[in-house]
Amino acid sequence: MVMIQKSRNRSNKLPLAEAASPAQENEFESIDALADTFHRFMRPFFERINPILHSTVWRGKRFTEKHIVVMMAVDMYGPMSPSELSRAFKLQKGSLTTIIRGLCQSGMIERQNAEGDERSYRLTTTAMGTEFVEHMADQRRAGFRRQFALLPEAQRHEVRLALDTLVKYLGHEASE
């Protein structure tokens, strides 16, 4: 039997769990099946899709997943502070500092000091950084064309609709 746990009360003690109704049990079975599907998806994702999204050589230099995450984040969300990047993408501040320094030295991003606070700054993409982001978009399209060329069009459409539904549900509708 599936159990539902109530939220914590003011004393910070958890109340006893209540039994789930049959309707809730059916809903949980559906959600559990979704979780199992995501779990099965992770291996092919890491083996076949993640390299398309998070690995590249550009202008003779190899970029790591963390470099790409920082570049894509600053491009998608606009100017960001290192603290915002660290929190949003679970990047260690020490390694993030090294990544930022390298991207600044490469001319991909630049620091803009915050007004009135010499220690604070935000990161923005440069023209070269924008070229890199465009390269990543071209690489993504080419990689997906190779990866999914043999999947019948009707199934590609179903996958796209399912992913669109997931994006909308999770509240991250891309604004293009």
Within 8 A by CB and 6+ apart from 86, the residues are 92, 93, 96
Q: Is the pTM of this model over 0.85?
A: no
In the chain, domain spans: 29-168
- Which position has the token pair 């930022």? 100
Q: What is the pLDDT of residues 113-161, one digit of tens each?
A: 877 777 789 999 999 999 999 999 999 999 999 999 999 999 999 999 9
Residue 6 in this model has a pLDDT that exceeds 70: no
Give the CATH fold of the 29-168 domain: Arc Repressor Mutant, subunit A (1.10.10)
Q: What is the pLDDT of residues 25-57, one digit of tens each?
A: 777 888 999 999 999 999 999 999 999 999 999
Residue 19: the pLDDT is 65
Residue 90: the pLDDT is 86
Residue 129: the pLDDT is 96
Give the whole-angstrom CA distance, residue 54 versus residue 58.
12
Q: What is the token pair recorded at 36? A: 């199992």
Residue 93: the pLDDT is 85
Q: What is the pLDDT of residues 68-104, one digit of tens each?
A: 999 999 999 999 999 999 998 888 888 899 999 999 9
Evaluate whether 127 touches 121 at the Cβ level (below 8 Å).
no
Residue 14 in this model has a pLDDT that exceeds 60: no
Q: What is the dihedral of CA 158, 164, 165, 167, to 10 degrees?
A: 150
Residue 172: the pLDDT is 61
What percentage of residues in the chain have a pLDDT greater than 70? 85
Residue 24: the pLDDT is 72
